[in-house]
A and B are shown apart, each in its own frame.
Chain A
């Protein structure tokens, strides 16, 4: 009796309530459709221009691309560049592989490791350099730490922002050159923004960090500079640059050349007007002009040398990041002259 009554109620009332329920289901779909309708516009291509989609990371290492974009160096060469700011190198590489981007920013060691694994990414223009005269990445220790050299770090936790990459590689090389056993160091991964807190809490004895966190941690008195570890690999290194797929470069040699020209012009402009980064960087990153002027700026040179990359290949080989050597000429597009 109860059940039949209840069932009847449910059925009858359901008939009344269905429009409401249906609306609840259909409303998000309508929203989705409306959003979809708004998409796909604004991609209009200018006459005679080649469109290039470039993935950048909103950091000052990408200044050349920002300047070439803002100063019209791309446009002047018939390149209609759209910049997509992304937070991670791996995501950019995936997007280039999948064809969602033609080019993107990448660190050099990732290109070397990818090449050893059979991927065909190539450097298409000079990028951000490590120079021992102006290093924007350093190994830090806590201000009151008793650690003074590589031997003090044996058996201790040391952080790199990404394992199996340039930061870990450089600490290993520095330890080896300093007579310590790099295998004895316990590497942990801590992103640059969290380095200061990790040092303060003594979770790591030393940590690699880059700007703007480097200057902030030292200025606040949390940390002191332990070593310029990148220089243990070489006093001059290509930290990162714009890459594309080899197949893309082969099919778009003209565009690749024009892109290179624009980056070279941007490099000359940056080096001639160093103060302008305070105006340009806040437009493409969330760095304030005040912070930009305080931090160690990235180094840019208009030409690329074989020696900017070779030491990274050697170090990667020496520390087991890659198994067999990689030819530097294969890592750089043939549109880019190598000195």
Chain B
């Protein structure tokens, strides 16, 4: 990306923060509703220095990592099966299309009943939410592999397992990454939401309890930090994806050039 666009991106962020600051300081927006950004940062930094923030970040990341990790394992596994074997797809289709549209937030009360209020419940909810994008993208990724690749490999005498491992899976990897990136954002959202509903720790709990205690600055601080966390996780993913799919980008680049 050209550097001037990169510069503009950050300028936009700064402009938005500055707008918030000015709107609040000038009284255009009630400071009790939207405190100035600098006040938010100051109060939040003080809270963080007092050790009130880090344990909550850890708690959120923990349910995120557990739920998302589980969703990756199960989603990719089932996705490969359903994408590669028409029988599996046929068998699982109705269940998949029934479970998938249920809003993940709606499963929280059930999860509380069955799994309690601690990490087990939150992990399960994150897992449920993150599973579908991974599963579907993997499935369609496998399904969409150009039959010419498979035929070619077969002509070279490769066996089925080998074709799956060497040809089909790598060709589906861009889909898997797309699914995982979407799922990663959803996983963070659900981790925080579950903490807001039933948590006793985590950023969602932090935001909610700040709100209940007239600590508006800390509340906004928690919200900002959640956004930053989401940004960093996504940035990490983009980096990983770029690395793992270098061959893919090179290939499509060649096509475009040719």
Contact = CB atoms under 8 A, between A and B. Distances in A.
A94 B109 contact: yes
B213 A212 contact: yes
A98 B113 contact: yes
Given A3-B148, A20-B244, A35-B62, A58 B209 contact: yes
Contacts of B211: 193
Interface string A286-328: 1110010000000000000000000000000000000000000
A9 B247 contact: yes
B8 interface: no
Interface string B58-79: 0000100110111011001000
A10 interface: yes
Contacts of B76: 25
Given A20-B244, A87-B205, A7 B149 contact: yes
Interface in B226-258: 240, 243-248, 251, 255, 258
Interface string A26-38: 0011111001100
A101 interface: yes
Interface string A86-106: 111011001101111100000
Contacts of B178: none
Contact of B114 (A21, A24, A98): A98
Contacts of B213: 58, 212, 285-288, 291
Contacts of A91: 109, 112, 117, 197-198
A84 interface: yes
B116 A100 contact: yes
Contacts of A97: 113
B208 to A, nearest CB: 5
Chain B at the A interface: mostly helix, strand, loop or mixed? Answer: helix
Interface stretch (A11-19, A119-127, A329-337): A11-19
Interface stretch (B11-19, B93-101, B166-174): B166-174
A220 interface: yes
B242 to A, nearest CB: 11
B198 A29 contact: no
B72 A84 contact: no
A84 B118 CA distance: 9
B46 interface: no
Nearest to A58: B209
A216 interface: yes
B218 interface: yes
A14 B247 contact: yes
Interface range, A side:
35 or more
Contacts, number: 160
A156 B214 CA distance: 28
Contact of A36 (B66, B205, B247): B66
Interface in A39-67: 39, 55, 58-59
Nearest to A211: B214
B112 A98 contact: yes
A21 B246 CA distance: 11
Contacts of B218: 286
A98 B114 CA distance: 6
A85 B123 CA distance: 19
B200 interface: yes
A264 B65 CA distance: 44
Given A95-B198, A212-B214, A286-B215, A55 B117 contact: yes
B196 interface: yes
Interface of B: 30, 32-33, 62, 65-66, 68-70, 72-73, 76, 109, 112-119, 123, 146, 148-149, 152-153, 166-167, 169-171, 173, 196-200, 205, 208-215, 218, 240, 243-248, 251, 255, 258
Interface of A: 2-4, 6-11, 13-15, 17-18, 20-21, 24-25, 28-32, 35-36, 39, 55, 58-59, 84-88, 90-91, 94-95, 97-101, 192-193, 196-197, 200, 212-213, 216, 220, 285-288, 291
27 contacts: A7-B149, A10-B171, A17-B247, A24-B240, A28-B65, A30-B69, A32-B66, A58-B209, A85-B205, A86-B198, A87-B197, A87-B198, A87-B205, A87-B209, A91-B198, A95-B112, A98-B115, A100-B112, A100-B115, A100-B118, A101-B116, A193-B214, A197-B33, A212-B213, A212-B214, A286-B213, A288-B213
